[in-house]
Structure 1
Amino acid sequence: MNSTISSTTRLARALAVGVAIAGLSVGTVGVGTAGAAQDDDDRVIRTGSCSAGADWKLKVKTDDGRLEVEGEIDSNVAGQRWRWTLRHNGSVSDRGVATTTPRSGSFEVERKVVDLAGTDTLAFRAVRDGQVCRGVVNY
């Protein structure tokens, strides 16, 4: 009888571990994968560091059949002028100059682009005095 209980306990533990691993695997697949997110939140966010201390963030989500792309640079220094470029599948979608704001020392650029068939590659790049920030999202 003890060997039956112990076998049953081992089986229950093995099943619990298997279910937990399967749950983690499903969650991992959804993170950062376009179209796989749950609860109608299809947003993909990438962050990183620039070459000299600033940080970048790039967000992409669908919006009325288009892609809403938001690039952000945060240097924590107000009044800096940055040249930025937004590329969609290698082609320049937009470019401009932005200045970091007094309160946050950051700026944001938001644009909507056509949601092309297949995977869209969106790249946001900003440059200031030799410092380069670049983020990419494959959506």
Structure 2
Amino acid sequence: MGREKEEDMKGRITMAALSALTLAVLVGAPAAQAGNNDVIERGGCSDNSDWKLKISPEDSRLEVEFEVDQNVVGDDWRVRILHDGEVVFRGLRTTRGTSGSFTVRIVEDDLAGTDRFVGKARNVSTDELCRGAASF
């Protein structure tokens, strides 16, 4: 009878440990993916395209993502991103993938006070203009 109690106790301890581990994983996962401090702004461009500007804290810096979704593959766009009025990115991007979109990702210093980012994109062939702004 003593051996049965010992086996039963080991089983209970194992189940408790597995339950605690499962709970820790489930509780920890949303925090890693939540992005509760992200700032996301969205809007429409001058024609049918849409833009999204996302700012996320990243190790005392700011990750900035500017996305344009055109639903047309292969169009070139001239893109600029400004941080507090200063151009921090300038380049040419081509829409790709099944969604016909592009994303520019940069990481900038988190300056004192409020950081304002402006994303601008102009379609080279159609002259469509996208302009989005967000502050963090």
Q: Is 1:61 matched with 2:56?
A: yes
Label 1:111 to 1:40 Cα distance change in 2 as closer, same or farther (>3 A).
closer
Q: Tell whether the 8 Å contact from 2:42 to 2:50 is kept in structure 1 after alignment.
A: yes
Q: Does 1:130 align with 2:134?
A: no
**Superposed displacement of residue 138, structure 1:** 1.2
The answer to whether 1:84 aligns with 2:71 is: no
Alignment of 1:11-30 (within 5 A): none
Q: 2:46 aligned to 47, 51, 58, which one?
A: 51
TM normalised by structure 2 equals 0.72
Q: Deviation string for 1:10-31 (max 9, x for gaps)?
A: xxxxxxxxxxxxxxxxxxxxxx
| Structure number, greater radius of gyration | 2
Distance change >3 Å, CA 101–CA 118, structure 1 → 2: same
Does structure 1 residue 107 correspond to structure 2 residue 102? yes
CA distance in 1, matches of 2:61, 2:96: 28
What is the RMSD of the two structures over their aligned residues, measured on CA atoms? 1.2
Counterpart of 1:28 in structure 2 is none
**TM-score when scaled to structure 1?**
0.70
Contact 2:35-2:56 at 8 Å conserved across structures: no
State the percentage of identical aligned residues.
45
Structure-2 separation of matches of 1:136 and 1:62: 17
Aligned-partner residue type, residue 136 of structure 1 = A
Alignment partner of 2:106: what SS? Answer: strand
Cα distance in 2 for residues equivalent to 1:102 and 1:41: 28
1:40 is displaced (CA, Å) by 6.3
Is 1:71 equivalent to 2:66 in the alignment? yes
Instruction: Tell me the secondary structure at the aligned position of residue 84 of structure 1.
Output: strand
Matches of 2:35 and 2:103, distance apart in 1: 24
Displacement of 1:41? 2.0
5+ residue gaps, structure 1: 1-38
The Cα shift of 1:102 comes to 3.4
Unaligned segments of structure 2, at least 5 residues: 1-33
